[in-house]
């Protein structure tokens, strides 16, 4: 994800390109970065999380996305979060969302640094975001970031076992749900 593949594109050029491209690209200020393929562990983890959140959000009117839906931040930044929960009104553009309440990234060797720095900073600026989870696919470790009642971001690392509160869904997500059948 580190090498820009083209000169700067307009938002519309980017959206048009993505509709016809076989590869997905994140767009940072008009510069495109190809997204690496996911490993088996990465795919199992995102599938586990998607399945759990789908069940937890039943009846709440939320939309759950896994891998394929873009998140637009500002005018010209588009990311593909691994899992995204949106509980606000649907956007008029069917190809991206702008108001997630929960974002989840599963680390991979090629994106780890970006996920822990740039994306974290960008995501935390979103007023709608309440929870951001960063999942390590190589060990039982989740970095849990959340906005407290005063709107201040807090962070904790959970290792081995435990539950992650998801106040926006009035629920919790356990490490055993996240890592089900990952290390077998």
Domain ranges across the chain: 39-178
For 100-144, the DSSP string reads -SEEEEE--TTTHHHIIIIIHHHHHT-TT--EEEEEETTTTEEEE
Q: What is the pLDDT of residue 158?
A: 96
Dump pLDDT digits (tens) for 71-80: 999 988 999 9
Q: Strand 153-159's sheet: what is its strand order?
A: 63-66, 83-86, 102-106, 131-136, 141-147, 153-159
Mean of per-residue pLDDT scores for the chain: 90
Dist. CA 159–CA 144, nearest whole Å:
11
Q: Which CATH architecture has domain 39-178?
A: Alpha-Beta Complex (3.90)
In eight-state DSSP terms, residue 168 is G
- Which residues of the chain have a pLDDT value below 70? 1-7
Query: Is there a contact between 116 and 134 (Cβ–Cβ < 8 Å)?
Result: yes
Percentage of the chain lying above the pLDDT 90 cut: 61
Q: What is the pLDDT of residue 138?
A: 93
Can you give the pTM of this predicted structure? 0.91
Q: What is the pLDDT of residue 1?
A: 44
Q: What is the pLDDT of residue 83?
A: 97
């Amino acid at each position: 994800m580190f090498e820009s593949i083209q000169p700067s594109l307009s938002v519309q050029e980017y959206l048009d390109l993505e509709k016809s491209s076989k590869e997905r690209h994140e767009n940072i200020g008009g510069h495109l970065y190809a997204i690496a393929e996911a490993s088996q562990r990465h795919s199992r983890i995102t599938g586990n999380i998607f399945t759990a959140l789908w069940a937890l959000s039943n009846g709440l009117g939320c939309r759950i996305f896994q891998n394929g839906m873009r998140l637009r931040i500002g005018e010209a930044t588009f990311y593909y979060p691994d899992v995204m929960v949106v509980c606000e009104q649907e956007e008029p553009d069917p190809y991206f969302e702008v108001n997630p309440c929960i974002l989840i990234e599963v680390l991979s060797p090629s994106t780890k640094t970006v996920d822990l720095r740039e994306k974290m900073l960008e995501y935390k600026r979103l007023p709608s975001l309440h929870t951001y989870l960063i999942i390590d696919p190589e060990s039982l470790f989740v970095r849990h970031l959340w906005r407290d009642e005063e709107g201040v971001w807090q962070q904790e690392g959970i290792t081995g076992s435990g539950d992650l509160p998801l106040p926006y869904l009035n629920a919790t997500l356990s490490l055993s749900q996240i890592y089900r059948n990952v290390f077998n």
